A and B are shown apart, each in its own frame.
Chain A
């Protein structure tokens, strides 16, 4: 490949990473340019994180070689990466809230020898210097718990700085930051590049990349797609390179017809304990038989919106179901009985009952439908479970098998089945295809279409552009808690969705 202008500090050549059954990276060649902000972008699963894990020593590649300043190097642990001057700030903060800033910075590498006490004085002064480099006035002895999220993010960066990094990898550093904090972070990044540090910057927010990046690399499906100077390109180019030109599979037949409005949301607002608006004045409506997709990045407020709908959060605003207003104090169990079903986002944490049987997992939400007096009508339950298993084509040897033995796709079908057995009027699916294989994804989509044809209104969320284009009649874009676009699928394209997903700030 032809190199762009500029000096390459680190290059990865022909890197492949094989996992059982999949190739996460396929002969990827990647350059990090000296003293610049190197932006890397790709859809979920494109291989960004795997590549960064290899560079930061968390994983070793199956094939390929890393070169630092032209010399071949082996990085087999984060410690080795640090010795080569490579540091990474992960998306999730890795700080101990109950330790001071300085103690966090020196965690695991305390200035101490033998049995002598820790040299807090020198730790604090080094911390102070690092903070000065970041232009932050944070006391080294301050507890991390007392810092704001943005400040914590900077403490993470300081952690890398005191290890004398030449290359700093930032994984979605702005996902939890306010606009003001983002600006501070960008100033810090610019200062660091002036000091000669090379930055690798991962983000999904395209407008941010355009602002801060100098070089951009795009990965697609585990392969290197393209590399460019940011000043030479625009957002549309990025989207094109990211998604490729393959036609989007369409699961929807033309001329779909919808019924009356089944769900209506007016001015839904959710404010968290820290007084920031997670859901900000959201209004929309959903017709029966319609599939509406909510597109947005992580933290855009999609999950929170679903939680409001289910009555799990104290929101203001008004939902109505079939023109009947739902009182905001109505409990989750009542809402489920009224006809709202949820398939939650994180299947492991909030979807399945791992050590319970498939049968129990399926019937739990709808036991009230199958009572004989006070007791559960077991034959009716068996019948419903058997029917659900065959209708959703759940592959299971016996309904009494623990659900944790099933594949991700089959587990997801069981969770969907649990909601269906409550006979919902509205089905909410939060990232329904996360962590399931391609075949199962297709099954889930077909299931969604089938249900919509039965007259259920379907509202689902995803951060995958191809998915949203494949299966939505209408698309809502959420960003920073607001709805920034409400578009018919036929009248929109990926670029406008990406654009709208960055407009809530």
Chain B
């Protein structure tokens, strides 16, 4: 093949492979089709919107840890971070910040609470990243530890109690927090807008910024990445920071939807998020994965869960089915990688 022909150089493709690559998307349509036939009114806009609202919580977390998983890391602490961030929001709204020397009590407005909570989420992530890179602690162990610490801290914040009634008090000027969870914009809940905006931003980072390339390179071959001049530790700290930021957003949305914050909120949410990421074709071994895939993965898991509920399938069977779907997804993923490799080899043979 002549290499000076740019067009032909960038061509190449294979129908079977394309279908395999689109499998999560195809699975999504099959599931949608199945439930629309078996459940009355499944595709009605109102029920779809409720479902997507459910999905958005898992999507925030899953989008956040996609980068972590692409670098061949893992973050088990995001569920706890979600709960803790919700508790901070609840605390700031229901309690005043008392600054004793000045003799004043501050009731921060929503415009202060939200950024503060997001920054705290980011700091938790950054701390994970620092422990992992500076002290060479395995990500699994580090985030397992921080998961317990953060969950414990959330409990300590209220002594295990719920902060109820977070609508705020008009006299104190801290109302509006509940609007994040209940509000609509152009006919769609704000949570759904947030999910798509977050996905767009993260996908942009993955595709268009050098940072995204660095994330993939680290997951693919960390040593080669170092020798290629990538600041591996910096990138990793940022990757965990992003996971923390996203968990904080999820925490805010959940708390706002419930108009209350409970310290146990988000327990085991990280598992659902990991499942969505893996379902979306991201490899736990690192180096492979897409943001679109994660988003679709979150949809598959969410629709499956809600659909089964609407069908009246028992909670126990739901778990079994979810588990099966995850395992089958990974097996198909391995098949795709093999096929992809073979297709590359054969197209290579043609070239040389």
The listed residue (B10, B224, B351) touching A400 by CB distance below 8 A is B10
Contact of A353 among B4, B224, B340 (CB under 8 A): B224
Q: Which of A51-59, A68-76, A125-133, A382-390 participates in binding chain B?
A: A382-390
Contacts of A312 in B (CB 8 A): 226-227
Distance in angstroms between the alpha carbons of A356 and B10 in the assembled complex? 15
In the complex the two chains form, is A371's CB within 8 Å of B210's CB? Answer: yes
A401 and B227 contacting across the interface, CB-CB below 8 Å: no
CB-CB under 8 A for A390 and B223, given A364-B217, A395-B352, A398-B9: no
**Does A406 have its Cβ within 8 Å of any Cβ on chain B?**
yes
Which of B1, B4, B213 is the most central at the interface, judged by chain A CB atoms within 10 Å of its CB?
B213
- Establish whether residues A405 and B341, one from each chain, have CB atoms under 8 Å apart when the complex forms: yes
- Alpha-carbon gap, A336 to B226, bound state (A): 11
Which of A351, A354, A395 is close to B351, meaning CB atoms less than 8 Å apart?
A: A395
Is B61 at the interface (CB under 8 A from chain A)?
no
Tell me whether A333 and B229 are in contact (CB under 8 A).
yes
Q: Tell me whether B12 is interfacial, beta carbon within 8 Å.
A: yes
Contact of B42 with A by CB under 8 A: no
Cα–Cα distance between A213 and B208 once the two chains are bound (Å): 62
- Distance in angstroms from B7 CB to nearest chain A CB is 10
Asked if B38 CB lies within 8 Å of chain A CBs, one says no
B12 touches which of A354, A371, A400 (Cβ 8 Å): A400
A333 lies within 8 A of B231 (CB): yes
The docked-state distance in angstroms from the alpha carbon of A365 to that of B6 is: 22
Is B210 touching A368 in the complex (CB atoms < 8 A)? yes
B340/A402 in contact, CB under 8 A = yes
B228 touches A352 (CB 8 A): no
Given A336-B229, A342-B227, A350-B227: A407 and B352 interface contact (C-beta under 8 Å): yes
Interface SS of chain B: helix, strand, loop or mixed? helix
Give the distance to chain B from A301, nearest Cβ to Cβ, in Å. 18
* Beta-carbon contact of A374 and B220 below 8 Å: no
B217 contacts across to A, CB distance below 8 A: 353, 356, 360, 364
* Chain B residues within 8 Å of A162, by CB: none
Q: Is B102 an interface residue (CB 8 A)?
A: no
User: Do A310 and B227 touch across chains, with their CB atoms under 8 A apart?
Assistant: yes
Is A143 interfacial (CB-CB < 8 Å)? no
* B2: nearest chain-A partner, CB-CB: A390
Q: Are B341 and A406 in contact (CB under 8 A)?
A: no
CB distance from B268 to the nearest CB of A (A): 31
Residue of B nearest to A365 (CB): B228
Chain A CB within 10 Å — which of B12, B210, B227 has the most? Answer: B227
How far is it, in angstroms, between the C-alpha of A374 and the C-alpha of B337 when the chains are bound?
32
Chain B residue nearest in CB terms to A344? B227
Residue among A349, A356, A365 with the highest chain B CB neighbour number at 10 A: A356
Q: How far is the CA of A310 from the CA of B344 in the complex (A)?
A: 33
Could you tell me the distance in whole angstroms from the C-beta of A167 to the nearest C-beta in chain B? 39
Tell me whether A397 and B12 are in contact (CB under 8 A).
yes
Chain A 331-362 per-residue mask, 1 if CB under 8 angstroms from chain B, else 0: 11101110000101000011111111000100
Complex Cα distance, B217 from A351, in Å, reads 11
A364 to B214, CA, bound (A): 8
Most B C-beta atoms less than 10 A away, residue of A332, A333, A353, A389: A353
Interchain nearest-CB distance for A387 vs B (Å) = 10
Given contacts A344-B224, A349-B223, A401-B344, contact A355 B213 (CB under 8 A): no
Within the complex, what minimum Cβ distance (angstroms) separates B203 from chain A? 12
- Contact pattern, B 214-240, Cβ under 8 Å of A = 1, otherwise 0: 101100110111111111000000000
Q: Is A367 an interface position by the 8 A CB rule?
A: yes
The count of residues in chain B whose C-beta lies closer than 8 Å to any C-beta of chain A is 39
- Residue numbers in B under 8 Å from A390 (CB-CB): 3-4
Q: How many angstroms between the C-alpha atoms of A353 and B213 in the bound complex?
A: 11
Closest to B228 in A: A365
Which residues of A have CB within 8 Å of B230?
A: 333, 364
Q: Does B169 contact A (CB under 8 A)?
A: no
Q: Are A399 and B9 in contact (CB under 8 A)?
A: yes
Q: Which of B210, B221, B345 is within 8 Å of A354, CB to CB?
A: B221
What residues on B are CB-neighbors of A332 within 8 Å? 226-227, 229
- What chain B residues lie within 8 Å of A374 (beta carbons)? 209
Instruction: From A367, A368, A386, give the contact of B9 (CB < 8 A).
Output: A386
User: Does B348 interact with chain A (Cβ within 8 Å)?
Assistant: yes
Q: Is B11 an interface residue (CB 8 A)?
A: yes
Shortest distance in angstroms between A172's beta carbon and chain B's nearest beta carbon? 24
Task: Assess the A397–B351 pair: CB atoms within 8 A.
Answer: yes
Q: With an 8 A cutoff between CB atoms, is A176 at the interface? A: no
Report the minimal beta-carbon distance from B289 to chain A, rounded to whole angstroms: 11
Contact partners of B226 in chain A: CB under 8 A: 312, 332
**Across the two chains, which residue of chain A brings its CB closest to B212?**
A376
B10 partner residues in chain A, CB cutoff 8 A: 382, 398-400
Could you say which of B210, B224, B287 has the most chain A C-beta atoms within 10 Å of its C-beta?
B224
A425 CB to closest chain B CB (Å) equals: 15
**When chains A and B are docked, how far (Å) is the Cα of A393 from the Cα of B3?**
8
> When A332-B227, A364-B213 are in contact, do A352 and B221 touch as well, CB less than 8 Å?
yes
* B23 part of interface (Cβ distance < 8 Å): no
A438 at the binding interface (Cβ < 8 Å): no
Q: Write the nearest CB–CB distance from B317 to chain A, whole angstroms.
A: 36
The 3 closest A-B pairs by CB, nearest first: A405-B344, A397-B351, A395-B352
Beyond A354-B220, A368-B210, A398-B12, list 4 extra A-B contacts (CB 8 Å).
A333-B229, A337-B229, A350-B227, A367-B213
Using a CB–CB cutoff of 8 Å, the interface residues on chain A facing chain B are 310, 312, 331-333, 335-337, 342, 344, 349-356, 360, 363-365, 367-368, 371, 374-376, 378, 382, 386, 389-390, 393-402, 404-407, 410, 418, 422
Contact sample, A vs B, 22 pairs, CB 8 Å cutoff: A332-B227, A332-B229, A337-B229, A350-B223, A350-B227, A352-B221, A354-B221, A364-B228, A365-B228, A367-B213, A375-B208, A376-B208, A386-B3, A386-B6, A389-B3, A393-B3, A398-B347, A399-B10, A400-B10, A405-B341, A405-B344, A406-B348
